[in-house]
Structure 1
Amino acid sequence: MTDPSTETEAERLERVAADSWYAQGVNAATIYYSGRIFARHWRGDSCLELGPAEGLMTEQIAPHFPRLVLVDGSASFVAQLKERYPDAEVHEALFEDFTTEERFDTIVLGHVLEHVEDPVAILRRCRDEWLAPGGRVLMAVPNARSLHRQAAVIMGLLKDEFEFNKNDLHHGHRRVYTPEGLRSDVLAAGLRIEIFGGYWLKPLSNSQLEQDWTPEMIEAFMALGERYPDIAGEIYIVAGAD
């Protein structure tokens, strides 16, 4: 087994992919819901999706965009994506290494920025190298101020809202964003924030919710999070470039 302290970034991504929870239970529901939010803001005919993993968000993207490019650093995820989306152009690459002369009307980063070493650098590449004039960058990340994190701190399960929980550690997260932190990174990259929002008013852990909640209850609390973005489980930004 690879020592996490010495593994390369590609090895780290493959380790996470080998036991991925993204397509399971409540995690999958959050991805589908964020895709529905993003669908309100698609632009144009071409899309670049960074970090599609198993391709749950891609299910909603693919029917809308005649031109779709997918980039993921995991070889196993890339193999799945090529089989599942034969009409898409799929690249196995770290975002830091990916190059193309093409510009895209829409760029999607669903649960990407909490994973990468330098999120501002990735967002800057979106602005400078990949985004077409008038295009949009759509991103979503977990929120440190989520109700369930605040409750965990009060209960003594986390020392503060920024400490990694079980899901964070399993997925290889490098940070937990606040609304202010996400906005700061987007602005530091030179992007213009058009919309800030949230979804998924999450009061309990995934395991507790999956044990007791119906799909209808989960759907209702996904929608409630849009009313209270500051304390929602997930936050998102729609950004453009001047």
Structure 2
Amino acid sequence: MSNTEARDDWDRHWSEYGESYERNPAQEFRRRLITGLLTSPGPLVRVADIGSGQGEMLAALADRYPEAALLGLEYSAFGTQVGARRVPRGLFLQRDLMVEANPPEGYRAWATHAICSEVLEHVDQPEALLRHAAEFLAPGCRLVVTVPGGPMSAFDRHIGHRRHFTPDALRTVLAGAGFEVESAVGDGFPFFNLYRCVILLRGTSLVADISDERAQPSRTARAAMSAFKLLLRLPTVSTRGWQTVAVARLPDRGADG
């Protein structure tokens, strides 16, 4: 298996790293950020998670919004299966959105709200993925996108990051995929940036630790994760954060004429 094939093997990715992702304090930070932006105009009705992983985001929404209909779109068969077990009332579909969408009956132009969190950095043509995903989205659908900003770590490269995004770069990608961009900013300063600096400083040692199936987090690592969970709940103080986030809308092309 080549290095490129290994870093894009998402069944292996979720089976090996899924538990580590769930312990990651940045995941909770992103879930709060996404939920706030997704729900600010009004209640959720039908939500699609583009690149749903193991269903953590939809599980959080299922608990908080029991009336919302939920759809997960995921490249990995393993992730799709775990998501379906985690959120039994949701529908999880295995899809390669770089190739096609193929919405089942009743799910074309379905979602009133959508999420695409920490996905676009893993693909060479993010506009293509978003254009295919848009087949599941209703006109006017509110989309919240998160991608990493700031420097790329050894672990980021190991798990297949092609690039990190400035707010302007993310805005350009969304506009190129046909979305109207409401906002694009860098969130999380200063504590998310500090968290990312720790990841950067750990370098390849973090890759080795997470790849060791027998390893358990050290007392120091557990203390650091607990501290960052608390710090990442504090308000951000500027738009210089390394968590790039955008809110966009799928326009109603029929209304244009």
With structure 1 as the length reference, what TM-score do the two structures score?
0.77
Stretch of structure 1 that moved more, 169-178 or 54-63 = 54-63
> How many residue pairs get matched?
218
* 1:120 aligned partner: 127
The 5 A counterparts of 1:84-233 are: 84-96=86-98, 97-100=100-103, 101-103=107-109, 104-127=111-134, 129-144=135-150, 161=151, 164-201=152-189, 202-203=193-194, 204-206=197-199, 210=221, 213=224, 215=226, 218-225=229-236, 227-229=237-239, 231-233=240-242
* 1:54 aligned partner: 54
Identity of aligned residues (%): 21
Structure 1: tracts of 5 or more residues without a match: 145-160
Question: How far, CA to CA, are the matches of 2:225 and 2:162 in structure 1?
Answer: 31
Tell me, yes or no, if the aligned pair for 1:200 and 1:222 is still in contact at 8 Å: no
Structure 1 residues 39, 136: CA separation in 2 closer, same or farther (over 3 Å shift)?
Answer: closer
* 2:244 aligned partner: 235
Tell me, yes or no, if the aligned pair for 1:43 and 1:105 is still in contact at 8 Å: no
Q: CA RMSD in A?
A: 2.8
Structure 1 residues 211, 60: CA separation in 2 closer, same or farther (over 3 Å shift)?
Answer: closer
Deviation at 1:46, TM superposition (A): 0.7
* 2:69 aligned partner: 67
Deviation at 1:212, TM superposition (A): 5.3
Tell me, yes or no, if the aligned pair for 1:121 and 1:189 is still in contact at 8 Å: yes
Question: How far, CA to CA, are the matches of 2:88 and 2:228 in structure 1?
Answer: 35
Structure 1 residues 25, 182: CA separation in 2 closer, same or farther (over 3 Å shift)?
Answer: same
Question: How far, CA to CA, are the matches of 1:15 and 1:214 in structure 2?
Answer: 24
Question: How far, CA to CA, are the matches of 2:136 and 2:226 in structure 1?
Answer: 37
Deviations 1:68-123 (A, max 9, x none): 11111112111111111111111112123332152210111011111122111122
With structure 2 as the length reference, what TM-score do the two structures score?
0.73
* 1:153 aligned partner: none
Deviation at 1:15, TM superposition (A): 2.8
The 5 A counterparts of 1:69-84 are: 69-84=71-86
